Structure 1
């Protein structure tokens, strides 16, 4: 319940603090939300709302603007640069690059970023999983009225094939990584991810606990990392993803992310051995006008 309340508090303070809001994250050890503020006089306002406050140099808007500037130059980025995002706790922008490519990443992004080396991310898609698309398979995400949401690359990278459980209702990849499947008559839809019943779609704070259900690795859990992350897959760039340290592998694509309190978070996009990215659920529902099934 503390993590659910933190998500509500974060949104309220984001609005109330305006240009002085410096991002927020959930401190698991302390069990409370931490909010960055660029104006020391705003500390009392943040603490009055139930959060801890930390003075930071850059506002969330400034950091997001820096990410947007990199997004606008994405086409000129070297192939060794695999993405970028805002590290809220460190109050800085981070650029990820392949091992040994730090200098090239710095040259592209400029000095005012931190470069982190990491394995190349891949969309999770392979033959053999929860639902099939031609000779390939992916994982069911969260159920909606008439079907379920899943990853967009499950459609885009499998040609013209239709899912064995229905038809594509719509998809987007690259740019985004979301899709939904309109299931055929007779298929029962349950408002669950794993054994957790879906109650809503409130976005969890950075640092909060989250789990995912995928047909390759099953039920795995971890914490929410950087949000609004840009990831450069070999097949195309996707923006607006959320990072986690949850275990995911090929075949988990499209699988659902959820909190223990039943708040749906999104669907598996891709990642590497250290990171699993998900496409946030709210954007998917909004893009297609879908209604989430709830228990």
Structure 2
């Protein structure tokens, strides 16, 4: 069956009743119309330079060559900023290997640091420690351990769960023979919440018919299938968590009423069984025109070619509920327990989100705005989102997103619409 290419931005969906409630509650938060406004609000505009964008593109291309050169001694990689706010590429080595950085056109600064644990060791600990707690419950039916992540900068594995279970988590890890010097317990106040609530940022609805149970999301990035058929990528949970909804529709709601708009197309290439929160919906009979752009205040912003995420890299995302938000990547490899024995590898980022933001495009913060991924949800049990005030104070939970590179690698006939 042939499908058309997918539109630019997707956002996380919720059941219609919940969606209406969530939108009302989120009005108190600040809605940023542009990526530039979100960067300023996050204090990150000083890093969003043309030169830094070019450096990050080079890093995205050279990292595999560096890993191959480092071999088993590779300990991780990230970026830092010098006193002039320029990107510095950092590579960690856990052994005697020396490394010659690949030549680059920009002559940017690079450095090597020595660490105790190899990345492969941390990755094994992250995977096995999460499997150790598979099926072990905490409050109610939620898992005791919500997920694990590799903290490359601190050369640790983060094991996340509610603080009250730290003693039991520690005891189980020690009894299983884990090296606790490689592990840091991280307090998380609940399991990941999937914010389900066509131009990049266009609000969409999912369901089996206009009168069925409907969930609200946002379109992500437009794509082309087999060099002919247009389609759009959004979060897979927008269909999977809504009874495997068959179709996507335009959201024709107004501030005063809910309405399902025209059908866009059917879902396919759903990545959930392959543990990826991404899916494509088609453009039935080429009815709708899809562009390689995402929504911005002054119209639209062009989508630039896909790059891979880098630790500490600043990214921005657009959601129908909360507009533009920006923040740094905190973990490139966070394993998240999605429930029903489903563990997915996500990217953790320090920004807020809420119902209706799922599937929204995640792009590089710099002028180029390269495509990176699509928003999935927040590391919290709060169903109303994290962009408003945090009840009781304290740090705001981070969000997670699905990197697009592994998803598109599986579907080699799907190409991102980019300029």
Query: How many residues matched?
Result: 292
Deviation of 1:216 after TM superposition, in Å, equals 1.2
Aligned to 2:41: none
CA distance in 2, matches of 1:48, 1:103: 48
Between stretches 232-241 and 174-183, larger displacement belongs to 232-241
> Of residues 268, 283, 299 in structure 2, which corresponds to 1:169?
268
Aligned to 1:131: 204
CA distance in 2, matches of 1:9, 1:65: 24
Contact 2:195 2:358 in 1 (8 A): yes
Q: Given the alignment of the two structures, is residue 70 of structure 1 paired with residue 177 of structure 2, yes or no?
A: no
Contact 1:125 1:252 in 2 (8 A): yes
Aligned to 1:266: 373
Aligned to 1:115: 185
Unmatched tracts of structure 1, length 5 or more? none
Aligned CA-pair RMSD: 2.2
Aligned to 1:153: 237
**Equivalent residue runs for 1:32-51 within 5 Å:** 32-42=88-98, 45-46=100-101, 50-51=109-110
Between stretches 166-175 and 14-23, larger displacement belongs to 166-175
> Of residues 2, 16, 22 in structure 1, which corresponds to 2:75?
22
Cα distance change, pair 141–56 in 1 and its aligned pair in 2 (3 A): same
SS state at 1:3 partner: helix
Aligned to 1:105: 169
1:108-138 per-position Cα deviation (integer Å, ceiling 9, x unaligned): 4443411010122211113xx8100132111
CA distance in 2, matches of 1:214, 1:227: 21
CA distance in 2, matches of 1:232, 1:23: 23
Divergent runs of 4+, >4 A: 46-50
SS state at 1:65 partner: helix
TM-score by length of structure 2 reads 0.65
> Of residues 203, 209, 212 in structure 1, which corresponds to 2:314?
209
Unmatched tracts of structure 2, length 5 or more? 1-53, 138-142, 175-179, 208-213, 225-229, 250-263, 381-385, 387-396
1:163-206 per-position Cα deviation (integer Å, ceiling 9, x unaligned): 11211022133633121111222211111233432221111311
Cα distance change, pair 286–7 in 1 and its aligned pair in 2 (3 A): closer
Contact 1:6 1:32 in 2 (8 A): no
Deviation of 1:48 after TM superposition, in Å, equals 7.8
Contact 1:212 1:257 in 2 (8 A): yes
1:195-223 per-position Cα deviation (integer Å, ceiling 9, x unaligned): 43222111131111111111111111111
Between stretches 102-111 and 214-223, larger displacement belongs to 102-111
> Of residues 286, 292, 296 in structure 2, which corresponds to 1:191?
292
Aligned to 2:332: 227
CA distance in 1, matches of 2:154, 2:266: 44
Cα distance change, pair 108–11 in 1 and its aligned pair in 2 (3 A): same
> Of residues 46, 49, 57 in structure 2, which corresponds to 1:4?
57
**Pair member with larger Rg:** 2
CA distance in 1, matches of 2:313, 2:281: 29
Deviation of 1:46 after TM superposition, in Å, equals 4.6
TM-score by length of structure 1 reads 0.90
Cα distance change, pair 238–192 in 1 and its aligned pair in 2 (3 A): farther
Q: Given the alignment of the two structures, is residue 284 of structure 1 paired with residue 407 of structure 2, yes or no?
A: yes
Q: Given the alignment of the two structures, is residue 56 of structure 1 paired with residue 115 of structure 2, yes or no?
A: yes
Between stretches 261-270 and 52-61, larger displacement belongs to 261-270
